Structure 1
Amino acid sequence: MPRTAAAPDVSPSPTDATASAEFVPRRWLEILARAGGRWPQLAILCALLSTLVLLAQAWAIARLAQGVAIDREGLATLWPAIAVLAASLSLRGALTGLRGYAGTRASQQIRRRLRERLLQRFAELGPLWVRRQHRASLANRVWDQVESLHGYYADFRPQTRLAGLIPLMLLCVVFPLNWAAGLILATTAPLVPIFMILVGIAARKRSQEQFREMDRMGRHFMDLLTGLKTLKLFGSARRGPQVEAVSHAFRKRTMRVLRLAFLSSTVLEFFTAVSIALLAVYLGFHFLGHLQFGTWGDSPLTLQTALFILVLAPEFYQPLRELGVHYHAKAEAEAAASDLAPIVGSAPFTQEADGEAGTQTHYANSDLPAARPQTRKLHSLMLEEVCVRYPNQWNRQTSTLTPPALGPLTLRITQGERVALTGASGSGKSTLLNLLLGFVEASDGLLYLNGHPLSHGLPPGMATWVGQETVVLSGTLADNLRLARPHASDAQLEAALDNADLLDWYQHLPRGLETRLGEGGQALSGGQARRLSLARAFLHDAPLVLLDEPTASLDADSEARVIAALKRLGEGRTLLLLTHRPELLTLCQRLIHLDDGQLVQDRPLPLPTPRGDA
């Protein structure tokens, strides 16, 4: 029985992961932090140990001041305090360095995992989704927005823990010495985070505006570079005023963010200075005899105790000040999270994230796991009343569906058939290929492989694709070929090149399989690049080969070579060839013609007449 769509919007949407509940950036960032391993805990531990060493350092400073200024002691009695001071200074420096290293390592691990997940999601969402995005926006997400999380995980997030733990530790030390000093510290401390939050609210908004402006600038520059040839032909290549206007707008947004960052630092420094001054005034008036409270019992407040408290006072506020200094990192991270989370999902590093996005390959009522070798056999491929609708084919105003991009279509292809797929532009040919490759899903109907129903395209390894454009990566020839089979031997690579009619070209390369292609490497003509994609298809050795105008834009000689290679590729395999060229129809046994997504013709093709026959 054909299945019906649950909703009009049947294509995978990156917003599905966060659409069900209100998105909270901080919660998503906390989930992301799990990829940091034990490094964040090590950073916090180093900071706490540094605080304990600080107590020894403060004692040593106070002891030296008391011994030199009041007791007039000699070096013989003060050397233990001097040794403690020197050791504590060295140890605190080492702990501070280790803390910074641990925070950086945590940030590196998280950002690396997030980039991997983003690229994985791009692959899962498929080329149709990627094609709808601007290339500058994708690059901005993978690089700039992920990079903006560094300050959050390396500095701000550990500091949120330390801002509560370190002041509490120091209060536990100060209160037994003088309750008035402890009360001053405890009362003035909340002023710092309150004003930090007020400044941070505006900083987050400014960071979001900066990200949008950066994305706009990237799009503008990418469009100029991509269309430079067209602009030059029409005499419009001088775009200085437009580039200057976009750059100026981005500069203004950036300066607004920096102004808020400096403002937050200034506000925190002001309230910290006022609080320390208030504590110093209390201690001074206490020694003058004007404020005789704060001590426990009859024990007097000594200079050593007062200096010990004064040395600890700046360190008491330091975690709060650092939290304020790094607060703009939180604003940047939350702005980036709002854009990245809809793509990678609400649980980016768990299996649930993949399930939410709906990108897993499922085989309904099927025993066809992709890893089994027998699943690479194709006996029959069946489409039963299949319909494909894109999201924009749902009319929300009238609550009706426009005609589907493909279907309802019933079609059967058997093993070894070579089928030509024809039709005008927009007739559904590319949609059919995308359906088989799993880039789009059927809203109605079912796809069967060897009698087993599939719910999300063909299993991995069942089909290979040869399109009109060949992607040549920056790497060696071997790297480019092993995209199709990662563990192929050199002999297998050479055999694939021979089948694709590239052996003569390969033998004249300066370094053979180690010759670099792509940017800064060996240049390839259009025909050589197309045959390189055919060599990948030979290596992949899938039972079904999908081809989209494989001879488009080629000269006669290159076209003849590609057609000869396609004949070899079709031996023992099933071919589905999207084409309009008569020369390619001679390769096929059957012609299927589509119009407006409907099957209008399905007929056998005559066998080609052998050469020499009249």
Structure 2
Amino acid sequence: MPTRNESDLWLARQARHGGYWTPLAIVAGSAATLCLFAQAWAIATVVQRMVLDEGRLSELTVPLAVLPLAFIGRGALAWLKSETATRSAIGVRQALRRRLLDHLAQRGPLWARQQHSATLGNRIWDQVDALHGYYADYRPQVWLCLTIPLLILLAVFPLNWAAGAILLATGPLIPLNMAMVGIGAKQRQQAQFLEMTRMNRHFLDTLRGLATLKLFGVSRQQASVVHHVSENFRHRTLRVLRLAFLSSTLLEFFSSLSIALLAIYIGFGYLGYFEFGAWGRGLDLYSGLFILILAPEFYQPLRDLGSHYHARSEAQAAAEDLMPMLADEHAAAPAQADWPVPERLGVHLQGVSCRYAGQRHPALDDIELTLHPGETLAVIGPSGAGKTTLLNLLMGFLSAETGTLTTDAGMPIDRLPREAWHRAIGWVGQQPALLPDSLAENLRLAAPQADERALWNALEAVDLAEWARRLPRGLATPLGEGGQPVSGGQARQISLARAWLRRAPLILLDEPTASLDRDSEARVLRGLARLKRGRTLVVLSHRLELLQLAERILMLDEGRVSALGTLAELSAPGQPLAGLDRPANDEPEPAGDRAHD
């Protein structure tokens, strides 16, 4: 686990993403102090001239005009400080979220599948949001705690060195109090984050299994468990808030005590008991009132820092959780700076073995395979044979432990930029992701710049254009929840249309006809027949109709190649598919088995 110093250094490095907004906030806060000087001068001058000098109203024109301008100036600068500090925090949070999402994309779905989605969501949203107070409030306030008291001391010492000494001596009481409170605040904040993650995970698991809980009649029992978990989080949160309120109370006490001490000195100076501190001139009404007006503002930055100190503890706790996740984001870049995607692409695997983290046995073991450009390869085998692993390897989500994986031109795939390699790949899975958006935007996931004509051509290619024309708003019709219902076959056809639009030379398909009725299956097969022209396809399937589309069939068993050849060769007498006259397995593989395939 990172130490406090490491988390502080990490938080300081992230501040660069805030740009110039943080310096602007510091300048605005410091400039507000200059307006305070003008305000204090105007008030002290008016009182001095009216009470002791018995001046006329005409002599007070300048200070009376300066007073409202100083008020307005302080208000405007306070708004500017708050606005610029907030923009700095937003910039940092947006940059961190981009890095986290990029990191998830680099790790790939295999790594993400091993993480709890509630934990990932908590890190990307809640933990990053927990940094807002640090960059919007605490960090600018640290600098203002240096500039504002220094400016006030420079204004007070020429008038009365004793008052300046009192301010200088009592000021450190507030930071000392913050340091003592901060030790416990960080620990409580970490406990709150842990409880929040636990509550999010439990609530998400409950929602996912709600139908099962209802069927077994235990949903009410689970409601009490959810109540218990949420109560634990409430108690953790209240402990953090209690400490924050206690800290604010102590800060108010010390600052009030310090101001009272200064007021006592000035009062006894007016009574003639204290004759030191005024540089031998005596303490007049103007100087005393000017100093008393500035005194609360001397402690105010320190009090504000104390009230924001819990934001530092919260940010430290969040940083300690985020740092390990981003620790390896700066991996060495591939030697190949860029790679133009070819029109036709083949892949060669030579002695490739790979295994999943924590597994003793390899998921693929000594695979020798040449996938020719424009070829369609069907991959079959029992559950756990390594079919899905082969797709993950080809997509770059899993690295080869031994052996080499190259293009048909001899370029090692692990040396290619991952973004460039992914541009060369099209993907059609069993459960295509559909966004709650229009049909057009769902298609443009594969080709953001595609025009309407290209979208219709893709729909025609996958036998879906007629359905799209019957939609209420055509391509602009929203899909999914709250929009147009989409069947499993139509979702699969939309996924094929994306692959068509992408124009990728290598298409990977995972059981593209699984769980479809005969009519939907026939439509998908017609779309695949058109999609394969000029492209290299790797298809995971047991369906005879799909095997007939393939030039060769690869059979895997326990991660090894058990057979490789054409359908005619493998279905000959004595061969593994001898007598094949129907689909070898009409049922899709269980999701739990596929996760380890």
Same fold (TM over 0.5): yes
Distance 1:456 1:424 in 2: 32
Task: Give the alignment of 1:76-155 within 5 angstroms.
Answer: 76-155=58-137
Q: 1:385 corresponds to which residue?
A: 351
Whole-Å separation in 1 of the counterparts to 2:542 and 2:294:
82
Alignment of 1:385-464 (within 5 A): 385-393=351-359, 402-449=360-407, 450-455=409-414, 459-464=421-426
2:299 is matched with which residue? 317
Shift of 1:419: 1.2
Distance 2:210 2:11 in 1: 40
Task: Select 1:369's aligned residue among 335, 338, 358.
Answer: 338
- Alpha-carbon displacement from aligned partner over 1:439-471 (angstroms, at most 9, x marks no partner): 111121111102222216772322211111110
C-alpha separation in 2, matches of 1:252 and 1:522:
44
Q: 2:558 aligns with which of 596, 601, 608?
A: 596
Trace 1:147-166 onto structure 2 (pairs within 5 A).
147-166=129-148
Please state how far the C-alpha of 1:538 moved relative to its aligned partner. 0.7
Contact 2:344 2:534 in 1 (8 A): no
Q: Distance in 2 between matches of 1:543 and 1:567?
A: 15
What does residue range 26-105 of structure 1 map to in structure 2 within 5 Å? 26-105=8-87
Q: Match for residue 252 of structure 1?
A: 235
Please say which of residues 187-196 and 416-425 is displaced more in the overlay.
416-425
Distance in 1, matches of 2:522 and 2:322, equals 47
SS of the residue corresponding to residue 455 of structure 1 reads helix
Q: Which moved more, 1:530-539 or 1:102-111?
A: 102-111
The answer to whether the 8 Å contact 1:185/1:275 transfers is yes
Any idea what SS the aligned residue of 2:422 has? coil
Alignment of structure 1 residues 258-407 onto 2, 5 Å: 258-296=241-279, 298-345=280-327, 354-356=329-331, 360=333, 362=334, 369-370=338-339, 372-373=340-341, 375-378=342-345, 380-393=346-359, 402-407=360-365
C-alpha separation between the residues in 2 aligned to 1:67 and 1:556?
Answer: 99
SS state at 1:576 partner: strand
Count of matched residue positions in the alignment of Structure 1 and Structure 2: 566
Distance of 2:403 and 2:511 partners within structure 1: 27
**Which deviates more from structure 2 when the two are superposed, residues 46-55 or residues 575-584?**
575-584
Matches of 1:310 and 1:572 in 2, distance apart?
84
Q: Can you give the 5+ residue segments of structure 2 that lack an aligned partner in the other structure?
A: 572-597
Gap change, CA 1:79 and 1:23, over 3 Å in 2? closer
- The yes-or-no answer on 1:580 pairing with 2:547 is no
| Other structure's SS at 1:425 match | coil
Q: Name the structure 2 match of 1:243.
A: 226
Secondary structure class of the residue paired with 2:562: strand
Q: Secondary structure at the match of 1:434?
A: helix
Question: What are the residue-to-residue correspondences of 1:481-560 with 2, within 5 Å?
Answer: 481-560=443-522
Q: CA deviation at 1:23?
A: 7.2
Could you tell me whether the CA contact under 8 Å between 1:385 and 1:444 is conserved in 2? yes
Moved more, 539-548 or 136-145: 136-145
- Kindly indicate whether residue 524 of structure 2 is the aligned counterpart of residue 562 of structure 1: yes
Match of 1:219 in 2: 201
CA distance in 2, matches of 1:22, 1:63: 49
Taking the aligned partners of 1:414 and 1:441, their CA distance within structure 2 comes to 21
- Rounded Cα–Cα distance in structure 1 between residues aligned with 2:570 and 2:201: 50
Distance in 1 separating the partners of 2:413 and 2:223? 54
Please tell me the residue identity of whatever aligns with 2:427. W
Please give the alpha-carbon distance, in whole angstroms, between the structure 2 residues aligned to 1:102 and 1:180.
Answer: 37
Does the Cα contact within 8 Å between 1:66 and 1:304 map onto a contact in 2?
yes
Q: CA RMSD in A?
A: 2.0
The answer on whether the counterparts of 1:589 and 1:607 sit within 8 Å (CA) in structure 2 is no
C-alpha separation in 1, matches of 2:284 and 2:501: 84
CA distance in 1, matches of 2:513, 2:230: 43
Find 1:167's aligned residue among 143, 149, 157. 149
Q: Secondary structure at the match of 1:404?
A: coil
For residues 404 and 23 of structure 1, the distance between their equivalents in structure 2, rounded to whole angstroms, comes to 41
For structure 1, the residue ranges without an aligned partner over 5 or more in a row are 1-17, 346-352, 394-401, 610-614
Letter in 1 for 2:68: A
The 2-side partners of 1:161 and 1:253 are apart by: 31
Question: Any idea what the Cα deviations from partners look like across 1:223-246, whole Å, max 9, x if unmatched?
Answer: 111111111121122222111101
**How do 1:160-239 and structure 2 match up within 5 A?**
160-238=142-220, 239=222
2:377–2:551 Cα contact (<8 Å) kept: yes
When the two structures are superposed, what TM-score results if normalisation uses the length of structure 1? 0.89
Deviations 1:263-305, CA, capped at 9 Å, x for gaps: 1111111100111111111111222222222121x31111110
Give the CA deviation at 1:321.
Answer: 0.3
Q: Which has the higher contact order (CA 8 A, sep 6+)?
A: 1
What is the identity, as a one-letter code, of the residue corresponding to 1:110? V
Contact 1:543 1:574 in 2 (8 A): yes
1:612 aligns with none
Q: Per-residue displacement from partner, 1:76-122 (whole Å, max 9, x unpaired)? A: 22222211111111111111111111111112222222222222221
- Percent sequence identity is 52
Distance 1:524 1:137 in 2: 30
Q: After the TM superposition, list the runs of 4 or more consecutive aligned residues in structure 1 that deviate by more than 4 angstroms.
A: none
- Tell me, in whole angstroms, the C-alpha distance in 1 between the residues paired with 2:524 and 2:324: 42
Query: Given residue 134 of structure 2, which amino acid in structure 1 is its aligned partner?
Result: Y
Structure 1 residue identity aligned to 2:330? G
